[in-house]
Amino acid sequence: MQVSGTFLAFAVLSLLTIGGAVFMISFTRVVHMVISLGVTFLSIAGLFVLLEAEFVAISQILVYSGAISILMLFGIMLTKHDAKDEGVSKANKGWLSILVVAVFFVIAFWGIQSTPWVAPPDNAAAVQEDNATQLGVEIFTRFVIPFELTSVLLLVALVGAIILAKKEEDNE
């Protein structure tokens, strides 16, 4: 019985990930939920490092733990300061949701367990060296058009968010 360092890191990170998510569901104050989800996002970045995706991990920390958490906090502060989530709205809906989620979990778990996963050939490991450079080459050669479309999407989202959230001064 030998426990490798990778497995130890994986165990700690996955525990933090799932713990953060479960605490997010069980907390009642919305601000606590956002903080707990920040822990989840950070540990997911750690999992990405374990998967040799360093650039994606850094982007995860910047975008999710940084930007999206802060944006959510702004949303909370601009709507209800001490908002509490009373949880399930109707008694029936909670049980139905649990049932739907449980059925989905069982089906997907069975799918994962019954599929024979074939290990990749060994030369694949050499591809992953110098992650950021390779990622940049991939994005700017094979994925140029989706990249440009993404920039257009970001511009549209920026303008749309400003217009939606702007105060209407002279309506009616």
Partner 1 sequence: MIFDVSLPLYLLIALILFCVGLYGALTKRNAIVVLLSIELMLNAVNINLVAFAKYGLYASLTGQVFTLFTMTVAAAEVAVGIAILISLYRNRDTVNVDEMDTMKR
Q: What's CA 3's distance to the chain center, in Å?
A: 28
CA–CA–CA angle 16, 18, 23 (5° rounding):
90
Q: How many CA atoms lie within 13 A of 43 on its CB side?
A: 19
Q: Is 63 in the site for partner 1 (CB under 8 A)?
A: yes
- For the CB of residue 170, give the shortest distance to partner 1 in the complex, in Å: 15
Whether residue 6 contacts residue 50, with contact meaning beta carbons closer than 8 Å, is answered with yes
Q: Is 32 in the site for partner 1 (CB under 8 A)?
A: no
**3-state class of 84 per DSSP?**
strand
Choosing from 12, 144, 148, 160, the residue that interacts with partner 1 (CB under 8 A) is 160
Q: Is 58 in the site for partner 1 (CB under 8 A)?
A: no
Q: Is 61 in the site for partner 1 (CB under 8 A)?
A: no
Q: Is 71 in the site for partner 1 (CB under 8 A)?
A: yes
- For the CB of residue 48, give the shortest distance to partner 1 in the complex, in Å: 6
- For the CB of residue 137, give the shortest distance to partner 1 in the complex, in Å: 9
Task: Report how far residue 64's alpha carbon sits from residue 67's, in angstroms, rounded to the nearest whole number.
Answer: 6
DSSP conformation class of 142: T
Q: Is 158 in the site for partner 1 (CB under 8 A)?
A: yes
Backbone Cα Rg of the chain: 21
Choosing from 24, 35, 39, 61, the residue that interacts with partner 1 (CB under 8 A) is 24
Q: Is 144 in the site for partner 1 (CB under 8 A)?
A: no
Task: Report how far residue 40's alpha carbon sits from residue 23's, in angstroms, rounded to the nearest whole number.
Answer: 10
- For the CB of residue 84, give the shortest distance to partner 1 in the complex, in Å: 8
Tell which positions 74-133 bind partner 1, by CB under 8 A.
Answer: 74-76, 78-80, 83, 85-89, 93-94, 97-98, 100-101, 104-105, 108-109, 112-113, 117-120, 124, 127-128, 131
Q: Whose Cβ is closer to partner 1: residue 108's or residue 170's?
A: 108
CA 137, 141, 144, 146 torsion-angle sign: negative
